[in-house]
């Protein structure tokens, strides 16, 4: 089956120049040709774009498929079958918003990946990490301070995260996730907002533990993505070989940003989660200690992006949203980023840069011959109007892997 997107203004995922309208030919799930003259192909299905914009599908590099509510502690302990049903719906909704690829940051696993591959459920391409790894008392330890350890021999383990302590335990846990097909390993190396006992500025995991995880991931050409808010923590990540620094909300020193850039690491800001918890009321019911932690990251996030940009750090794009009421904010991440970055940089982050981060730059993130046909037709100019993504009805055609998910033209 050949499909031609005719007469489209193409943003190819990288180039800032949108030239004259092109005709993009899709065959067997991949882009075959980007033609300047209208090809004559008998039997091809034509999608006349009428000079609308065509771009690669969006990529969310910090996504949570297992995110039915902000009460992460309860989510972490729900029956796995119930969580799978939630994840199925949450993934389908993300695809509907134009996200054709997501990188999950805790909980999505080989089961969800298989369900997607086989067509049992619909959703974005999934890069998963399995369970996120936390030290005891770290961001992934969902126990309250009052909860004891009944037998003293097990740490904490839920659907999203588990605790591991010491290089040997860490090595085994990382190998286990990799055995189950994890595309990346998730560690928590600083405190976080939505966890009960860890101060935000706490250092988590020893250098040796982080190094073991990086080394094991590298043995399969995978890498570590690390939850990290603090400036010091981000510098430590760069020094220890962490490839993807998540949130990075308190990065403030040029020196830190330069070390991240020199290491070739990425920072993945997540403005949507702060927006959702702060303004939109999602965080109203937060316990006092979590509220305080939220306030301390809110202001820094935009500044951190500026510090990273001016020092040449590769910036991905992620959202980190939980709760059905907040999920629709996912597409607003581009507009939020546009407050401190040029639209072209934001669009690159959401497509080609994220693809490189996810190690799938030869597959997705660009419109070029041979790439998978993950394509969006927009009825707005993305270089002028990043807010357009917020309204999914302004994405009249949505294709993933050559399959038409939506066509309302
Ligand atoms: Zn997250």
Q: How far is the CA of 56 from the centre of ligand 1 (A)?
A: 24
Q: How far is the CA of 186 from the centre of ligand 1 (A)?
A: 10
CA-based end-to-end distance of the chain:
19
Q: Which range is least confidently modeled, 33-42, 68-77, 241-250, 274-283? A: 274-283
Q: Which helix (H) or strand (E) holds 74?
A: helix 72-76
Q: How far is the CA of 366 from the centre of ligand 1 (A)?
A: 26
Q: How far is the CA of 18 from the centre of ligand 1 (A)?
A: 34
User: Are the CB atoms for 5 and 47 separated by under 8 Å?
Assistant: yes
> Can you state the percent helix, strand and coil of the chain, rounding each to 5?
35, 20, 45
Q: How far is the CA of 62 from the centre of ligand 1 (A)?
A: 6
Helices (H), 226-369: 231-240, 254-263, 271-278, 288-298, 300-310, 333-337, 343-348, 354-357
Q: How far is the CA of 382 from the centre of ligand 1 (A)?
A: 26
Top pLDDT among 279 and 212 is at: 212
Once rounded to an integer, what is the mean pLDDT over residues 41-67? 96
Per DSSP bridges, beta strands 58-63 and 125-127 are unpaired
Q: How far is the CA of 4 from the centre of ligand 1 (A)?
A: 38
User: Are the CB atoms for 129 and 178 separated by under 8 Å?
Assistant: no
User: Are the CB atoms for 344 and 337 separated by under 8 Å?
Assistant: no
Interval 288-347: pLDDT, tens: 777 777 777 777 899 999 999 999 999 999 999 999 999 999 999 999 999 999 999 999
The sheet with strand 99-104 has its strands ordered as 58-63, 99-104, 125-127
Q: What is the rounded CA–CA span in Å between residue 309 and residue 226? A: 20
pLDDT the model gives residue 280: 53
Q: How far is the CA of 227 from the centre of ligand 1 (A)?
A: 7
Domains of the chain with bracketed CATH: 2-56+366-407 (2.30.40.10), 58-357 (3.20.20.140)
Interval 344-390: pLDDT, tens: 999 999 999 999 999 999 999 999 999 999 999 999 999 999 999 99
Specify the DSSP class assigned to residue 389.
Answer: G
Top pLDDT among 19 and 31 is at: 31
For tokens 């799978």, name the residue. 84
Q: What is the rounded CA–CA span in Å between residue 21 and residue 40? A: 16
Q: How far is the CA of 162 from the centre of ligand 1 (A)?
A: 14
Top pLDDT among 106 and 192 is at: 106
Name which of 335, 337, 334, 364 is nearest 351 in CA terms: 364
Q: What is the rounded CA–CA span in Å between residue 351 and residue 361? A: 9
User: Are the CB atoms for 238 and 212 separated by under 8 Å?
Assistant: no
Interval 184-200: pLDDT, tens: 999 999 988 887 788 88
Question: Which residues, 6 or more positions from 49, have their beta carbon under 8 angstroms from its beta carbon?
Answer: 5, 6, 7, 8, 9, 21, 377, 397, 409
Once rounded to an integer, what is the mean pLDDT over residues 207-228? 98
Once rounded to an integer, what is the mean pLDDT over residues 159-174? 96
Q: How far is the CA of 64 from the centre of ligand 1 (A)?
A: 7
Dihedral pair phi/psi, residue 390, rounded to 5°: -65, -25
Q: How far is the CA of 273 from the centre of ligand 1 (A)?
A: 9
In the numeric block, which tokens belong to residue 284? 């109203």
Residue 277 reports pLDDT greater than 90: no
Q: How far is the CA of 188 from the centre of ligand 1 (A)?
A: 10
Q: How far is the CA of 277 from the centre of ligand 1 (A)?
A: 13
Once rounded to an integer, what is the mean pLDDT over residues 135-157? 80
Q: How far is the CA of 236 from the centre of ligand 1 (A)?
A: 19
The three-state secondary structure class of 121 is coil
Q: How far is the CA of 289 from the centre of ligand 1 (A)?
A: 19
Q: How far is the CA of 102 from the centre of ligand 1 (A)?
A: 12
Q: What is the rounded CA–CA span in Å between residue 156 and residue 357? A: 30
């Amino acid at each position: 089956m050949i499909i031609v997107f005719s007469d489209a203004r193409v943003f190819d995922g990288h180039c800032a120049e949108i030239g004259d309208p092109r005709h993009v030919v899709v065959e067997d799930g991949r882009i075959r040709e980007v033609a300047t003259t209208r090809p004559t192909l008998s039997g091809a299905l034509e999608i006349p774009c009428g000079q609308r914009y065509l771009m690669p599908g969006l990529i969310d590099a910090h996504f949570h498929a297992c995110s039915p509510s902000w009460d992460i502690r309860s989510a972490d302990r729900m029956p796995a079958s119930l969580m799978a049903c939630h994840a199925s719906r949450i993934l389908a909704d993300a695809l509907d918003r134009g996200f054709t690829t997501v990188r999950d940051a805790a909980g999505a696993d080989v089961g969800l990946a298989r369900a997607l591959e086989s067509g049992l459920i619909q959703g974005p391409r999934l890069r998963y990490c399995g369970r996120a790894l936390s030290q005891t008392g770290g961001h992934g330890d969902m126990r309250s301070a009052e909860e004891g350890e009944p037998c003293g021999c097990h740490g904490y383990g839920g659907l999203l995260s588990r605790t591991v302590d010491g290089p040997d335990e860490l090595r085994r846990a990382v190998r286990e996730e990799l055995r189950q097909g994890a595309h990346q390993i998730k560690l928590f190396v600083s405190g976080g907002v939505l966890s009960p006992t860890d101060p935000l500025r706490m250092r988590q995991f020893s250098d040796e533990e982080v190094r073991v995880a990086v080394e094991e991931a590298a043995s399969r050409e995978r890498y570590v993505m690390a939850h990290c808010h603090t400036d010091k923590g981000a510098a430590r990540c760069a020094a220890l070989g962490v490839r993807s620094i998540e949130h990075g909300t308190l990065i403030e020193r040029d020196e830190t940003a330069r070390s991240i850039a020199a290491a070739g690491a990425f920072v993945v800001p997540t403005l949507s989660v702060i927006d959702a918890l702060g303004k939109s009321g999602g965080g109203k019911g937060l316990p006092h200690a979590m509220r305080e932690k939220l306030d301390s990251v809110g202001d820094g996030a935009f500044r951190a992006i500026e510090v990273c940009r001016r020092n040449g750090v590769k910036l991905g794009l992620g959202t980190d949203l939980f709760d059905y009421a907040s999920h629709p904010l996912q597409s607003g991440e581009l507009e939020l980023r546009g407050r401190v970055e040029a639209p072209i940089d934001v669009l690159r982050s959401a497509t080609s840069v994220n693809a490189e981060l996810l190690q799938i730059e030869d597959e997705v993130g660009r419109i070029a011959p041979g790439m998978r046909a993950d394509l969006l037709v927009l009825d707005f100019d993305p270089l002028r109007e990043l807010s357009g993504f917020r309204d999914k009805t302004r994405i009249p055609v949505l294709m993933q892997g050559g399959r038409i998910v939506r066509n309302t033209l």
